[in-house]
Amino acid sequence: MTATQRVVKEVKAYHWFIKFMIFLVALGAAAAVTRFIFGLGATTNLDDTYPWGLWVSFDVVTAVPLAAGAFTLGAITHCFHIKKLEPLVRPAIVTGFLGYSLVCVGLLLDLGQPHKGWHVLRYWNLHSPMFEVSMCVMAYTTVLFLEFLSPVAEKFGWNIPLRILRWLEMPLVILAASISTLHQSSLGTFFLIAVDKLHNLWYNPLLPLLFYVSAICTGMCIIIVEATATHKWMGQPNEGPLLRTLAKILPWTLSLYIGLRIYSLVVLSERPLFDNGILTILFYTEFILGFVLPCCMFMFKDVRNSDTLRVTAALLVVCGLILNRFNVSMFGMMDASHVYYPSLIESLVTIGIITAHILFFVLIAKYFPIFEHHPETVDYSIPDSFGKINPDKPKGASQSEAVTSIS
Amino acid sequence: MSANHNPKQNTFLIDLTKCTGCRGCQVACKQWNQLEAEETEFFSGEGYQNPPAMSEYTFTRIKFRDYQKNGENEFAFYKEMCMHCDDPACASVCPVGAFEKTPEGPVIYKADRCIGCRFCMVACPFGVPKYEWSKGLPLVRKCTGCYSRVKEGLKPACATACPTAIEYGPRDEMVKIAKERLANHPDKYIKKIYGLHEAGGTSVLYLTNLPFDELGFKDVTQRPLPDYTWQALRFVPASFLAVGGTLSALSWINHRRERLMNQNATSEQAHTPAEEKEE
């Protein structure tokens, strides 16, 4: 009883916006329940012509690249060894872990037989991009969970798991990047089977590579957006100098994407390209506003140094990616005589999932040390007593040197 | 994925010039597969056909098309059903392998495996797999090629019921008959066997006297569809190792460099952290 009262008291003290988000998440959860009671046909606008709708287009195909920040930043910080970016890594991992967990939730809602989802582990079909993505998402969610355990272990002072996690850090970072390479690109492979269905503007054999490169760009942009938002609304220190470093990498990756995209359009795509007015507009919006413009913006030092301009350019990339994924998975396959649009229930569930992401991030940041991460100040050596670390004990000279040098 | 060209697999040869539009096949299919009736309206679809589309309750259907010949109104018919591809897209994309091309010919669906992801519906170039939209935990439904009958040496229900238009037998024989008909009656047929090369070859072949696109046949690629995804998926193991290996090597080099720099720094008793110089 006292525990419940304490929780109620805690929740009552929350900011009104957090309460509003809790309401939206509850609404989404209720909508998800109606999907199981009344069936997919009654609650969604899906039919035999459009078997995939908002839940696949956003909750899976778009949410996965939006959660790409964790592996991108992990690789940049630890493998390319740009150590000063370390303070950004933990929030990125939390975002990634939440993102992937919610991808799993979205996927389970969309499946006709969610209770049989584990069949993927039993009946392997190596020729299926869906098999590959499911395996990778499961594996990567586990990796992210292990990476996410660090702040949890720190919070509760579990020193031995913490030691193991520190030791696992580098293998996990490399595993995360390798697994992400596979499934970020395989999401593009999904649509290679839609020959004669997906419009020529988006259908080309390079689709998997384009998905992968754009996911890397978006991963970095999401980190810029997130760090700017936590600075503005959650009272975190301004990480401007670090974001400047990221913004310096972005013109290179964005140029690579733009180059590949133009090559795929000019050389690899079938003709005609511009036979449909609406799709042409969507393509130009996505490509020019979402990729070319921010790429040019990031090339200027003034943009990289200005918090507002930098986050604007990053947001443009994020929007460009979202539009790109919707163009590939939804608009590019639509037939003007029979248009799909999401139903109220579908929209409520997706809004609930997006809100849940932000809400859980805020709550985790409230209770776990994800921003105050300074690994060089913590001694991870196992104390003789296997208990709490003695704060007065000086930092282990040689033993912890090797460990902390990793971070 | 190698193309499954078994010349002995059972194949439908559907001669639309001989189809009378009696829809005996439609009824036989419903009976054998115990499919529920659908509530329909006349002219609810494109023309006289009923029900308006294939669905979870309708695995095959006769499409009607009226046209003018010598100033008189005529009907053309098209039997819509699963094409039972030699190299099925549905089987290649299914994450749990719920579809299988059997040596006997039919592409069968294993409902006990299916997780309901609907990738087969997105992948199928002919739009055949349909979903149980009315159910809370839906499965996919499609023409079974009457595998249960074919296994026992019987012909499929629709081929048995059809009085005129459907031949059923080994693919090489069906192709031979089709070619003979085209050769003997060049005036009667469009010179094309639909299904011979479509989607890499199918176990349903069509002959007709009207252009195929006018009847609603889709102009699908001649390459087996699984090839399109496999050309990307085959790089998966290599890219996993390449990315993993490159990043491992890179980290090892970078960390070693820093360790050496730290050692030098401590040996010289100088206190200059390396990372501050970078900026």
Taking the Cβ of residue A185 and every Cβ of chain B, the question of whether any pair is shorter than 8 Å is answered with: yes
**Which of chain A's residues have a Cβ under 8 Å away from the Cβ of B233?**
126-127, 129, 132, 186, 189
Instruction: Judge contact between A222 and A70, C-beta under 8 A.
Output: no
Mean pLDDT check: name the lowest of A153-162, A214-223, A249-258, B123-132.
A153-162
CB neighbour burial string for A323-332, b if at least 16 within 10 angstroms, e if fewer: bbbbbbbbbb
Mean pLDDT of A278-285: 95
Beta strands in A77-165 (DSSP E): none
- Residue A33 in contact with partner chain B when CB distance is under 8 A: no
> What total number of domains does chain A contain?
1
Amino acid of residue B256: R
Q: Hey, are the CB atoms on A84 and B116 less than 8 Å from each other?
A: no
Per-residue pLDDT at B2: 43
The closest alpha carbon to B95, from A213, A193, A175, A177, belongs to A193
CA-nearest residue to B230 within chain A is A127
In a domain, A393, yes or no: no
pLDDT at B42 over 80: no
Q: Specify the pLDDT at position A337.
A: 83
The pLDDT of residue B273 is 53
C-alpha–C-alpha distance, residues B123 and B114, integer Å: 15
Residue A231 has pLDDT above 60, yes or no: yes
Distance, in Å, from the CA atom of B175 to the CA atom of A306, rounded to the nearest integer, reads 70
Dihedral sign for Cα atoms in the order A396, A398, A399, A404: positive
Q: Give me the pLDDT at residue A155, please.
A: 81
More confident site: A379 or B73: B73
Please name the residues in contact with A290: beta carbons below 8 A apart, sequence gap of 6 or more: A316, A317, A319, A320, A321, A323, A324
Confidence check: pLDDT of A220 > 60: yes
Cα torsion at B192, B196, B197, B198 (round to 10°)? 80
Residue A2 lies in a domain: no
Percent of chain A with pLDDT over 90: 69
Residue A183 has pLDDT above 70, yes or no: yes
Q: What is the pLDDT of residue A259?
A: 97
Judge whether B135 is closer than 8 Å to chain A, CB to CB.
Answer: yes
Flag whether residue A232 sits within 8 Å of chain B, measured between CB atoms: no
User: What gap in Å lies between CA A218 and CA A62, rounded to an integer?
Assistant: 11
φ/ψ of A86, rounded to 5, equals -45, -45
CB A209 within 8 A of CB A260: yes
Query: Does some domain include residue A323?
Result: yes
List the single range of A381-390, B57-66, B245-254 with lowest mean pLDDT: A381-390
pLDDT value of residue A1: 64
The yes-or-no verdict on residue B43 having pLDDT over 90 is: no
Q: Domain for residue A6, yes or no?
A: no
Q: Is A163 exposed, middle or buried (0-12, 13-18, 19+ CB in 10 A)?
A: middle
The average pLDDT across B221-229 equals 94
B262-275 pLDDT tens trace: 888 888 765 555 54
pLDDT in tens, A102-128: 999 999 999 999 999 999 999 999 999
Q: Is the pLDDT of residue B110 over 80?
A: yes
Can you tell me the distance from the alpha carbon of A16 to that of A22, in angstroms, rounded to the nearest whole number? 10
Placement of tokens 């140094």 in the chain:
A305
**What average pLDDT is seen over chain B?**
90
Residue A376 included in any domain: no
pLDDT for A61 beyond 90: yes
| Cβ-based contacts of B45 with chain A (< 8 Å) | none
Interface contact B93-A40, CB threshold 8 A: no
Closest among A10, A213, A101, A288 to B239, alpha carbons compared: A213
Query: In whole angstroms, what is the distance from residue B225 CA to residue B228 CA?
Result: 6
pLDDT at residue B29, as a whole number: 96
Among the partner residues B221, B262, B279, nearest to A195 by beta-carbon distance: B221
Q: Say how far apart CA B201 and CA A32 lie, in whole Å.
A: 42
Element (H, E) at A25: helix A16-38
Let me know if residue A383 belongs to a domain.
no
- Name the residue with higher pLDDT: B224 or A376: B224
Query: Do residues B233 and A132 lie in contact, with contact meaning Cβ atoms separated by under 8 Å?
Result: yes
A38 and B CB contact within 8 Å = yes
Which CATH number fits the domain that encloses residue A71? 1.20.1630.10
Nearest to A79 by CA among B249, B251, B245: B251
How many residues does this entry show for chain B? 279
DSSP structural state of residue A335: B
Q: Is B228 on the interface with A (CB under 8 A)?
A: yes
Calculate Rg over the CA atoms of chain A.
22
Chain A residue with the nearest C-alpha to that of B100: A125
Top pLDDT among A215 and B218 is at: A215
Q: Is A388's pLDDT higher than 60? A: no
B263 and chain A in contact, CB less than 8 A: no
Cα separation, A68 vs A85, whole angstroms: 16
Size of the A and B interface in Cβ pairs below 8 Å: 203
Which residue would you say has higher pLDDT here, A397 or B60?
B60
Give, in order, the Cα–Cα distances in Å from B49 to each of B17, B54, B157.
17, 11, 20
**ipTM confidence:** 0.88
> Rounded to a whole number, what is the distance in angstroms from the first to the last CA of chain A?
43
Band of residue A399 on the pLDDT scale cut at 50, 70, 90: very low
Q: Under 8 Å CB-to-CB from A381, ≥6 apart: which residues?
A: A163, A396, A399, A400, A403
Of the candidates A249, A225, A229, the one whose C-alpha atom is nearest the C-alpha of residue A321 is: A225
State the Cα–Cα distance between residues B243 and A180, nearest whole angstrom.
10
Of the pLDDT bands very low, low, confident and very high (cuts 50, 70, 90), residue B28 is very high
Neighbouring-strand partners of residue B64: B77
CA-to-CA distance for A2 and B84, rounded, in angstroms?
Answer: 65
Task: Calculate the average pLDDT of chain A.
Answer: 88
Q: Write the DSSP string, B44-112.
A: -SSSS-SSSS-BTTBS-EEEEEEEEETTEEEEEEEEE----BSS-HHHHH-TT--EEE-TTS-EEE-TT
Full residue range of the structural domain in which residue A206 is found: 17-369
Tell me, which fold does domain B10-231 have in CATH? Alpha-Beta Plaits (3.30.70)
According to the model, what pLDDT value does residue A385 have? 45
Cβ contact A192–B244 (<8 Å)? no
Residue A389 lies in a domain: no
pLDDT above 70: residue A135? yes
B96 touches chain A (CB under 8 A): yes
Integer Cα distance of B102 and B84 in angstroms: 10
pLDDT digits (tens, 9 = 90+) for A332-373: 999 888 899 999 999 999 999 999 999 999 999 888 888 875
Query: Residue A184: is its pLDDT beyond 90?
Result: yes
Residue A403 lies in a domain: no
Domain ranges of chain B: 10-231, 235-278
A 10 A CB-CB count for A103 gives 23
- C-beta neighbour count of A355 within 10 angstroms: 19
**Cβ–Cβ gap A185/B136 under 8 Å:** no
CA distance A110 to A32: 10
Cβ burial, residue B96 (10 Å; 0-12/13-18/19+): buried
Mean pLDDT of the region A189-203: 94
How many Å separate Cα A30 from the centre of its chain? Answer: 24
Angle at which helix A86-110 crosses helix A240-263, to 10 degrees, equals 50
Per-residue DSSP letters for B166-222? EEEEEHHHHHHHHHHHHHH-TTTS-S--BTSSGGG-BSEEEE-SS-HHHHT-----S
pLDDT tier at B230, thresholds 50, 70, 90? very high
